[in-house]
Amino acid sequence: MAAVSFDEDATVNSLIDVETNSWDREVLRALFNPNIVEEILRIRLPFNRVRDKMIWDKESSGNFTNDCRWTIFEDIQKDGVGVVLRDATGGVLRTATKREDVVDEAATIEALAILRGLQLCIPLGIRKLVIESDCLLLVQELQASSNSLANAGNIIADVKQLLSRFKEVQIQHVNRMGNSVAHALARNAWNVADISVWWDHLPSFLQNFLWLDANSCMDAD
């Protein structure tokens, strides 16, 4: 396959074959690893072509925060992943819940949750991102420049590959307070076959959890 060049300011339209109005598989495979390619190919494109544009350009609006959490459904041997994308003011912009095959270690599940969150951020044109995790070991692994020797090493390598596509990334260790929305999304994975994504609004079952998060932050201050 010939080398594919990709401008850092390119938009999602660069990944689409305009003749067939479908994802350009050759470009995707040249830019992303196979797992990420499969995730992108699951996203359905609209029948009517719309003008491509950059959404939520962080050069003018500050950092975005990607909060990813997980839960385990032992009786069905599945994991649930919840992802919340917030703007600089804490407003929720995008949420997602995804069911995954079960894994044993907490650090591996947490790394997988962050990977899914990054996969949702990549198409949005976000330049600066803050990633929060309450798993100190994983934060240290992601901050290290060397290859990870942890059991989650392959997933961590995938995460680092995606992190390199952002202009600026901060990886922060946080406590468990103030993440009720992400935890609720992770538990909601019980109700989905694969993945559900909400744009620009919260599903009704998250309203109370958003209130809890807001009040937790006020108490912490």
Q: How confident is residue 1, by pLDDT bands cut at 50, 70 and 90?
A: very low
Q: What is the pLDDT of residue 41?
A: 83
Q: What is the pLDDT of residue 163?
A: 92
128: pLDDT strictly greater than 70: yes
Query: Of 68-82, 89-103, 123-137, 156-170, which gets the smallest average pLDDT?
Result: 68-82
Highest mean pLDDT among 4-13, 45-54, 55-64, 104-113: 104-113
Q: Are residues 141 and 179 in the same domain?
A: yes
136-191 pLDDT per residue, tens:
888 999 999 888 888 888 889 999 999 998 888 998 887 766 577 888 888 888 88
Q: Are residues 79 and 142 in the same domain?
A: yes
Q: How confident is residue 51, by pLDDT bands cut at 50, 70 and 90?
A: low
Q: What is the pLDDT of residue 193?
A: 82
Q: Are residues 211 and 118 in the same domain?
A: yes
Count of domains for the chain: 2
- 92-101 β-sheet, strand order: 168-173, 128-133, 64-73, 78-86, 92-101, 195-199
CATH number, domain of 69, equals 3.30.420.10
Q: Are residues 48 and 70 in the same domain?
A: no
Sign of CA pseudo-dihedral 108, 58, 183, 214: positive
Q: How confident is residue 127, by pLDDT bands cut at 50, 70 and 90?
A: confident
Longest dimension (CA), the chain: 55
Q: Are residues 34 and 109 in the same domain?
A: no
**More reliable by pLDDT, 114 or 70:** 114
Relative orientation angle of helices 106-121 and 34-41, to the nearest 10 degrees: 50
Q: What is the pLDDT of residue 2?
A: 46
Q: What is the pLDDT of residue 160?
A: 93
Contacts of 58 (CB under 8 A, 6+ apart): 64, 126, 127, 128, 129
Q: Are residues 207 and 162 in the same domain?
A: yes
Domain membership of residue 49 as a residue range: 1-53
Q: What is the pLDDT of residue 158?
A: 92
Query: Using H for helix, E for strand and C for coil, what is the string for 82-113?
Result: EEEEECCCCCEEEEEEEEEECCCCHHHHHHHH
Structural domain includes residue 58: no
Q: Are residues 126 and 199 in the same domain?
A: yes
| 134 conformational bin, left if phi > 0, alpha if psi -120 to 50, beta if neither | alpha
**More reliable by pLDDT, 8 or 99:** 99
Q: Are residues 77 and 186 in the same domain?
A: yes
60: pLDDT strictly greater than 50: no
Q: Are residues 201 and 139 in the same domain?
A: yes
